[in-house]
Structure 1
Amino acid sequence: MKLKSLLVGLGLLAGASIAQAEDPLKVGFVYVGPVGDLGWSYEHDLGRKGLEAHFGDKVETTFVENVEEGADSERVITQLAKAGNDLIFTTSFGFMNPTIKVAKRFPKVTFEHATGYKRSKNVGTYVLRTYEGRYVSGVTAGMMTKTNKIGYIASFPIPEVIRDINTIYMAAKTVNPDVEMKIVWVNTWYDPGKETDAANALMDQGVDILVQHTDSPAPLIAAEKRGMRAFGQASDMSQFAPEAHIFSVRDNWAPYYISIADAVMKGTWKPQDYWGGFKEEILTIESINPNLPADVKAKISETYAAVKSGEIKPFTGPITDNKGNLVVKAGYTLNDVELAQVNWYVEGIEGEIPR
């Protein structure tokens, strides 16, 4: 009787081990905006869906949208960890410190934070080389502007945004030395009303080409109404402005999410600082408008190829800031650590960076 009980017990234990081995990897996502923003959070959610499509029932995903940066995000990240998620992606710069704090309390959970620079034993970071897309946009804007005024709708003064503003301006200057940059800071990632107001304020100042670092198609729609031109941000926004849309720079997150989930499942994950761009095809140029002049379309293709191959490295010196300081010496290219610390405007951009 004891032998039978022992065998049954062993059988139950074996069954439990098999069931445990077959449990799906639970993956949580935290979004700063709504999944319907048609920009940043929308593309992260497409990446989540791509993860599900790739692994099927081997993964189980969940997400929380519209999470404010700061204390609220710490609460949400904690809830996801307590809910048994094995892997959590936090997808906005302002989630950095909350992610690090929660990770300390849940050392068995793997965390990945987008656009930040703080890592630990169970926290990795990932970011897009958005400046590569901005370089192509800047060259295009410099060729197309008739007023020599390019407008930038900026979200928050973090290194990524400042870096991209500089890239647009430097790239535009390579084809148009007379170009000017006008900037409006809206202090939001997603607010169609504020984005529309900023777009109109810039166009009122003579801007005829708009670039945005916000997540709704509102600036494109505003440009369409006034006969100006603009670029899509984060996703393909061509449908919202058939005439105004120049092209979109799309964030394609699925390949990265698949690679990280695979590493966690195999037990090979290690914290790293990942940067992906044109070369990895995690950043792409989408829907180049057929109404563009032939020479502009040719230049877009040429510039894209040169950036992708590394022939063009946007942050190669000499580069001087707008206070006259040499910030990148001649022949030197900023490395990823230095790119993550850009906090200056290049020479020619007027004004101060908000603090």
Structure 2
Amino acid sequence: MKRRQFNKLLTGIAAGIGLGAAMFGGQALAEEPLKVGFVYVGPIGDHGWSYQHDQGRLALEEHFGDKVKTTYVENVPEGADAERVIRNLAQSGHELIFTTSFGFMNPTVKVAKQYPKVKFEHATGYKLSKNLATYIGKTYEGRYVAGYVASQMTKSNKIGYIASFPIPEVIRDINAVQLALNKYNPEAELKIIWVNSWFDPGKEADAANAMMDQGVDVILQHTDSPAAMQAAERRGKYAVGQASDMSGFGPNAHLLSVIDDWGPHYIAETQKVMDGSWESTPMVEGMAEGAIVIPSFNDAIPADVVAKAEELIAGIKDGSVQPFAGPIKNQAGELKVAEGEVLGWDELEKMNWYVEGVNGELPK
């Protein structure tokens, strides 16, 4: 064989090998799992907010299998540490990052600007950018139902609410409970204790006990541990679970739980990133979308009360029941929502006022 022919043969073989390697490499690259990161404000063992977000992460893994690789960081303070954690996830190849607490908003905005190719979603916030979306559950829908049940189960007409921070999400949920009390038991009084923490079992237990010492016999919460439920169980009172099913922590005390089901959202958003259809939008999902769930009621609740609660849930789902339908007045007695009108999400998402009937002032 002549040298020129031999060289052509070698060139053809090399080209074939190179093409095969490129095809193999491209296939391997295509099969690389999508890295999805999660940032939690509390521990995944809080059995509340962070626990339920992590259940959504696990549902994501189960749905996609080896097509995804997830990472989570728990117990992240809302501040400089959050920015560092979010940046580390972006730097380490995560293509979609969920930051799951209101105080992560500004750190997420900052990191999103620095990593424009990464998709970010922030829970409960309101700031958007080209690669930053927001998502939130209409927890106030569940609180309205819980407020109705509490209004019927109280004997002392004193209802307690353990609140975390005075942000719109917490304020509108308190208002939803008060609106249910106003309608179904105007004699009931709502007592609020602010603990300035999302997860502090000691503070939550102390707040629950302080309320019960004042005659409260039904406790709701916007904090993440089951400490209040356990305190109510010990003292023969009732309580409502937050974010996840807390019935196991107070079988007798547990009236119901307002549960956040994040799995469908995480699955849908991950699929959008995979198929290139992801967009930066504000996503607000409630009972109609299956994002807020009340799956069961305590057997101690009378059948007619359960039936009414289920009727309210059905009405919220089909739109015939609106917790923030007018007329609604604020604490000063000023009309905020006229009869026949419904407070829109643009107002609900920045709510910073109490409805008529709530005692006390908002913390500054």
| TM tier relative to shorter chain | over 0.9
1:246-270: CA deviation from partner (whole Å, max 9, x where unpaired) = 0111111100000000000000000
- Tell me the equivalent position of 1:90: 99
| Matching of residues 256-271 of structure 1 within 5 Å | 256-271=265-280
- Contact 2:42/2:76 (CA < 8 Å) preserved in 1? yes
1:42-74: CA deviation from partner (whole Å, max 9, x where unpaired) = 110010000000011111101000000011100
**Distance in 2 between residues matched to 1:286 and 1:197, nearest whole Å:** 28
| Matching of residues 33-112 of structure 1 within 5 Å | 33-112=42-121
Question: Unpaired runs of 5+ in structure 1?
Answer: none
**Distance in 2 between residues matched to 1:291 and 1:56, nearest whole Å:** 41
Compare 55-64 and 169-178 and name the one that shifted more.
169-178
- Tell me the equivalent position of 1:245: 254
- Tell me the equivalent position of 1:205: 214
Query: Any idea what SS the aligned residue of 2:36 has?
Result: strand
- The one of 144, 150, 166 aligned to 2:175: 166
* 1:334 Cα offset (Å): 1.8
| Matching of residues 140-219 of structure 1 within 5 Å | 140-219=149-228
**Distance in 1 between residues matched to 2:122 and 2:319, nearest whole Å:** 26
Question: Which runs of structure 1 show a deviation greater than 4 angstroms over 4 or more consecutive aligned residues?
Answer: none
Number of matched residues?
A: 355
**Distance in 2 between residues matched to 1:308 and 1:12, nearest whole Å:** 54
Measured on the aligned residues, the alpha-carbon RMSD in Å equals 1.1
- Contact 1:143/1:172 (CA < 8 Å) preserved in 2? no
1:148-186: CA deviation from partner (whole Å, max 9, x where unpaired) = 111100000000000000000111221111111100000
- Contact 2:182/2:357 (CA < 8 Å) preserved in 1? no
- Contact 1:328/1:334 (CA < 8 Å) preserved in 2? yes
* 1:40 Cα offset (Å): 0.5
Query: Any idea what SS the aligned residue of 1:36 has?
Result: helix
**Distance in 2 between residues matched to 1:331 and 1:294, nearest whole Å:** 31
- Contact 1:238/1:287 (CA < 8 Å) preserved in 2? no
- The one of 324, 331, 335 aligned to 1:322: 331
- The one of 30, 33, 46 aligned to 1:21: 30
**Distance in 1 between residues matched to 2:313 and 2:296, nearest whole Å:** 14
Query: Any idea what SS the aligned residue of 1:286 has?
Result: coil
TM-score w.r.t. length of structure 1:
0.98
- The AA in structure 2 aligned to 1:86 is E
TM-score w.r.t. length of structure 2:
0.95
**Distance in 1 between residues matched to 2:129 and 2:232, nearest whole Å:** 43
- Contact 1:227/1:244 (CA < 8 Å) preserved in 2? yes
**Distance in 2 between residues matched to 1:316 and 1:323, nearest whole Å:** 18
- Contact 1:142/1:148 (CA < 8 Å) preserved in 2? yes
| Matching of residues 103-142 of structure 1 within 5 Å | 103-142=112-151
| Matching of residues 272-311 of structure 1 within 5 Å | 272-311=281-320
* 1:147 Cα offset (Å): 1.1
**Distance in 2 between residues matched to 1:223 and 1:167, nearest whole Å:** 22
**Distance in 2 between residues matched to 1:123 and 1:111, nearest whole Å:** 5
- Contact 1:142/1:173 (CA < 8 Å) preserved in 2? no
* 1:333 Cα offset (Å): 1.2
Compare 288-297 and 71-80 and name the one that shifted more.
288-297
- Tell me the equivalent position of 2:5: none
**Distance in 1 between residues matched to 2:19 and 2:315, nearest whole Å:** 63
1:13-41: CA deviation from partner (whole Å, max 9, x where unpaired) = 22221111111110000000000000111
- Contact 1:236/1:287 (CA < 8 Å) preserved in 2? no
**Distance in 1 between residues matched to 2:85 and 2:310, nearest whole Å:** 42
Question: Unpaired runs of 5+ in structure 2?
Answer: 1-9
* 1:325 Cα offset (Å): 2.6
Query: Any idea what SS the aligned residue of 1:164 has?
Result: helix
Query: Any idea what SS the aligned residue of 2:45 has?
Result: coil
Query: Any idea what SS the aligned residue of 1:85 has?
Result: coil
